């Protein structure tokens, strides 16, 4: 690979890996898109870059301007690194329930961090509404608005979907992932359907999210809860409008956690819980489509971002989640 003089060119073009355990468990070929290999270590670098480029193209942001966003963390990290490379400032609003590692990473990147209590979307103090207000009150600032700004899903239509199609030589039967903003599932879904209408697009929804019921029976309804960060949506965001979802699964934290642990122990991949939920969904989709099929999913972010939570036995016990056998023995 030749040298690049632009650090932002490091975003995207991530590797695709065949996941041995999930493939052997189903008789299918299940592939993971290694989004943890982006410079900010998550899938959200793509959306961050497209949102900033879109604002520049529209003339919405001026040199030295500020980008404000409400985020579970990963979009903030992506925006902060894009902003640093382009000479902008960032103000990031985040619920205080998110991992310590994400907060430390944002501070290290130079973002101004505003922590707010976790609140329902209907509450004006919700991180999304708080970030919009701060953007309105800050001179020369834009609100990234990742949930409803479709520059987000465009990153996955022209980037992620094209890459998966090329990396799988156009031989793909199914794709699944969870939704936070919905940019990834909608964008990859639209991109793959444009190549081949027959590719089955499946939503893997965590407990506590309302999209499973919406796609299954037309009603936004949730049950239970999840500790997975960055996923679990309660409304049809701008990015989810028109998303081509063919089928849907509801995946528990325990089921996702089991795959996180197997992928680490058997394949050396250290991932966050949304990746485990995606792989659990890919296994369900493989069983639904039958043996011999080729299925892709997203490995959203690095597990190093959750050492104090997912990989911490005390935290797991406090959340009532099973502790990994090796960690228990330690």
Residues at the site binding ligand PMP, with contacts judged by CB under 6 A? 42-44, 72, 74, 178-184, 229-231, 272, 274, 300-301
Q: Which is nearest to 35 in space by CA: 53, 10, 52?
A: 10
Closest to ligand PMP by CB, 161 or 178: 178
Closest to ligand PMP by CB, 92 or 293: 92
* Burial annotation 155-188 (CB, 10 A radius, 16+ → b, else e): bbbebbbbbbbebbeeebbbbbbbbbbbbbbbbb
Catalytic (active-site) positions: 44
Report, in Å, the least distance between residue 94 CB and ligand PMP: 11
Report, in Å, the least distance between residue 1 CB and ligand PMP: 27
Pinpoint the alpha helices (H) of 109-176: 127-137, 151-155, 161-167
Residues 305 and 311 sit within 8 Å (Cβ to Cβ):
no
* Strand 66-70, strand 89-95: pairing: parallel
Sheet strands side by side (includes 174-177)? 16-18, 29-34, 294-299, 174-177, 200-206, 247-251
Bridge partners of 202, per DSSP, are 176, 247
Report, in Å, the least distance between residue 231 CB and ligand PMP: 5
17 — phi, psi (to 5°)?
Answer: -125, 140
Report, in Å, the least distance between residue 87 CB and ligand PMP: 25
From CA 196, how far away is CA 24, in angstroms rounded?
Answer: 26
Q: How many CA atoms lie within 13 A of 23 on its CB side?
A: 16
Going from the C-alpha of 19 to that of each of 28, 43, 250, the distances in angstroms are 10, 18, 21
Closest to ligand PMP by CB, 43 or 263: 43
Q: What share of the chain is helix, strand, coil (3-state, %, to 5)?
A: 45, 15, 40
Report, in Å, the least distance between residue 99 CB and ligand PMP: 10
Closest to ligand PMP by CB, 65 or 163: 163
Q: How many CA atoms lie within 13 A of 180 on its CB side?
A: 25
Closest to ligand PMP by CB, 29 or 45: 45
Closest to ligand PMP by CB, 22 or 189: 189
Report, in Å, the least distance between residue 46 CB and ligand PMP: 9
2's CB contacts (< 8 A; 6+ apart) are none
Q: Which is nearest to 189 in space by CA: 248, 249, 244, 247?
A: 244
Cβ-closest position to ligand PMP: 230
């Amino acid at each position: 690979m030749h040298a690049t003089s632009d650090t932002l060119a490091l975003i995207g073009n991530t590797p695709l890996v065949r996941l041995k355990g999930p493939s052997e468990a189903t008789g299918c070929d299940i592939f993971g898109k290694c989004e943890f290999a982006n410079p900010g270590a998550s899938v959200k670098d793509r959306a961050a870059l497209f949102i900033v480029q879109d604002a520049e193209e529209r003339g919405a942001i001026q040199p030295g301007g500020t980008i404000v966003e409400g985020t579970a963390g990963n979009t903030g990290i992506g925006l902060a690194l894009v902003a640093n490379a382009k000479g902008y400032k960032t103000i990031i609003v985040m619920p205080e329930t998110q991992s310590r590692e994400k907060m430390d990473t944002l501070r290290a990147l130079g973002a101004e961090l505003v922590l707010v209590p976790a609140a329902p979307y209907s509450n004006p103090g919700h991180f999304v509404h708080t970030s919009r207000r701060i953007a309105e009150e800050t001179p020369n600032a834009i609100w990234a608005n990742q949930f409803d700004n479709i520059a987000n899903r465009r990153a996955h239509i022209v980037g992620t979907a094209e890459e998966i199609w090329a990396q799988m030589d156009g031989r793909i039967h199914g794709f699944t992932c969870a939704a936070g903003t919905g940019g990834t599932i909608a964008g990859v879904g639209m991109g793959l359907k444009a190549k081949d209408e027959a590719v089955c697009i499946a939503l893997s929804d965590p407990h506590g999210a309302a999209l499973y019921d919406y796609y299954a029976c037309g009603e936004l309804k949730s049950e239970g809860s999840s500790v997975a960060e960055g996923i679990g949506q309660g409304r049809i965001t701008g990015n989810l409008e028109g998303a081509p979802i063919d089928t849907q699964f509801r995946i528990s934290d325990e089921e996702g956690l089991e795959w996180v642990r197997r992928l680490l122990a058997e394949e050396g991949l250290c991932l966050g819980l949304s990746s485990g939920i995606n792989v659990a969904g890919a296994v369900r989709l493989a069983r639904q489509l039958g043996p011999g099929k080729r299925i892709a999913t997203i490995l959203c972010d690095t597990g190093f971002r959750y050492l104090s939570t997912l990989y911490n036995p005390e935290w797991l016990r406090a959340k009532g989640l099973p502790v990994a056998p090796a960690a228990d023995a330690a």
